[in-house]
Amino acid sequence: MDNTLAQFGRHILKRHFWCVHPVHNTCCTSKTEENSETSETKRYDSDTKRTNGVLSWPDYFMGVAKLSAKRSKDPKTQVGACIVDRQNHIVGIGYNGFPRRCSDDVFPWGKKGDYDNTKYAYVCHAEANAILNSSSDLRGTSLYVTLFPCNECVKLILQSGITHIVYNDSKSVSTASHRAAVRMLDAACVTYIHHSRMMVSPTL
């Protein structure tokens, strides 16, 4: 009976990775098991650490606007826009181009000549397309756009309820259109800021 109990005890100890210390006659965990647990812990810790250098939200949304601009067929000025709600969800994107069913190969892309023979008579701006492409309530949203909106687009921005604008370029600050745009934005208390003045990723 004693031999049977002894064999059963050794069997139980072996199954639970325990061994009897030959000198002190004390129980200790198997070194193989310890090394395995340590290795597993190190691997687990390494896998769960966050990565560094991720894009900030402003960089991300401006990046979407810049990517959208690359869809434009305009040979001179490609503009993209991205509308974002308060939960950082993209609710509308657009780029400058001709209306639907108006061929890019038929309508003019030029800037000089009679008005009806220039692009200005036909092109829908990126901001307008982003607003029209959205099916969401745009009140309280933010607009990320690669070029400061013109006065005509500002009218649509105000009417749609957009309350914040982030722009990447403003090459027409001396024009009457820009002055009118700024006047309306200020009157409606819509904020606007250059992308470079926000907390952005250093690598963008």
**Active-site amino acid positions:** 127
Q: Mark 68-103 as b/e (b = at least 16 C-beta within 10 Å).
A: bbeebebeebbbbbbbbbeeeebbbbbbbbbeeeee
In terms of C-beta density within 10 A (0-12 exposed, 13-18 middle, 19 or more buried), how is residue 128 classed? buried
Give dist(CA 16, CA 47) in Å, integer. 28
Give dist(CA 131, CA 149) in Å, integer. 13
